[in-house]
Amino acid sequence: MRTYDNPVIGGFHPDPSVCRVGEDYYLACSSFEYFPGVPLFHSRDLVHWRQLGNVLDRPGQLDLPDDTPASAGIYAPTLRHHDGRFYLITTDVRGKGTFLVTADRPEGPWSDPVLVDVPGIDPDLAWDEDGTCWCAVAGVTVSRIDPATGKVLEGPLPIWSGTGLQHPEAPHLYRVGDWWYLMIAEGGTAGGHSVSIARARSPRGPYEPAPANPILSHRSTDLPIQSTGHADLVTAPDGTWWMVLLGTRPRGWFPGFHVLGRETFLTPVEWVDGWPRVGPVREQHPAPGAWHPVELPPVRDDFDAPALDPSWISPRSRPDGSWSLTERPGWLTLDAKSGPAFLARRQQHPDCRASVRIDPGSGRAGLSVRMDEAHRYDIEVAGGAVSVVARIGPVRERIAEHAVEPGPVVLTVDIAATDAETRAPDTLAFSVEGPEGAVELAELDGRYLSTQVAGGFTGRVIGMYVTEGEAAFDWFDYQEALR
């Protein structure tokens, strides 16, 4: 029997929302304080996903101020296809509020934002048979809206707020047969996360809760996947039902630490007596009927392409003058004249290696593993020396230093997950390689770059930065380390 491995999209890809158009599936995730916003993926089988781009890829759509806190920004998009057009609705929690964008093709271009004046986060879109558009938000309320203008035509109407657990959120409305189903997350997005569902004859209610709520929860279990929730449903062409959801993979000593953020998982769904039934989310499941492996773009970037790969993200913004692929052809140039510049990609595997070849010139630049500004490990080169610097809350400490000759060097971080009984979830070993060979400089405890220490809703990213002057990067290489 063919099986697939969970997560289907590893690393910091939370709050998945999925829709199917014919035999093609499309999926979007939250991006919080990072630009460009809302990564968008394509699959033919729900298992193998390839990133097409980012929905919010220009400042006119996403303009996050410099003081946007970590884990603020863009929350919980819902992606839908209706009447030949793609719709994505989301919330900028410190900026414009709830808005929607549309496109004829998932690759874009996506429209400028249309503001929707509904209070709350985690907005959803659903259409009745007559074309009426409904928008549900966390809380949970529903409003009838005009998606072309964002005008609220009715509501918001309180409908069903779950079983009484905290933070009823992530509502999704579905029409199945003669019923409207309202699926929500509740219990908070940490260890108590769960999925519950209710149904009604009309989007306005009244809603009848499922007798077996929550229909999914891993709380108080020893399952390796935890915090299961914030789910979305989709049907396959063969009529089977599937659920995408977020989850975490904690490791290490109590209370357990997860460092990759909340990831996207897939699990099968059955319908029993008019209600969806979902078993525990496993690391392996029997695969869907369709099977379409895709060739993913290389994780090594030689910066020879005319544009940046869509997997590259930056905190809050990426001003045009802060980076260039043409100033030194075949290299990525980062410039700190307008402030620190940082380009990163998500860490997607518990065991991995990231390396970069850097020519620092007269600047200060390096390779960083980041949870947020106050929780990061850097290996940087400046003034003829390579240093490993740890930032944990208010403490910033230079851990190690090594002299190097002028010119390009290779900076590397090797990340290795630890055994379950080890206090730390993983270790990060930093090294430098120059003409004289490779030298390991420091090995650091990974728990300080975890959600349990840093807080927030994101996961680790690994990337290149410059804080003084200008530096050039010949290549960046990221690989899963197989044991």
Active site residues: 15, 169
57 contacts 324 by C-beta, under 8 angstroms: no
Nearest to 111 by CA among 125, 100, 122, 119: 100
Strands 141-145 and 124-127: unpaired
- Six token digits for residue 98: 């709830």
- Six token digits for residue 310: 């869509």
Q: How many CA atoms lie within 13 A of 239 on its CB side?
A: 1
Cβ-based neighbour number of residue 309 at 10 Å = 15
Cα-to-chain-centroid distance, residue 418: 24
Give the 3-state secondary structure of the chain: CCEEECCCECCCCCCCEEEEECCEEEEECCCECEECEEEEEEECCCCCCEEEEEEECCCCCCCCCCCCCCCCCEEEEEEEEECCEEEEEEEECCCCEEEEEEECCCCCCCCCCEECCCCCCCCEEEECCCCCEEEEECCCEEEEECCCCCCEEEEEEECCCCCCCCCCEEEEEEEECCEEEEEEEECCCCCCCEEEEEEECCCCCCCEECCCCCCEECCCCCCCCEEEEEEEEEECCCCCEEEEEEEECCECCCCCECCCCCEEEEEEEEEECCEEECCCCCCEEECCCCCCCCCCCCCEECCCCCCCCCCCEEECCCCHHHEECCCCCCCEEEECCCCCEEEEEECCCCCEEEEEEEECCCCEEEEEEEEECCEEEEEEEECCEEEEEEEECCEEEEEEEEECCCCCEEEEEEEEECCCCCCCCEEEEEEEEECCEEEEEEEEEHHHHCHHHHCCCCCCEEEEEEEECEEEEEEEEEEECCC
Alpha carbon distance 115, 91 (integer Å): 10
- Six token digits for residue 76: 């919980």
- Six token digits for residue 336: 């700190």
- Six token digits for residue 477: 């290489």
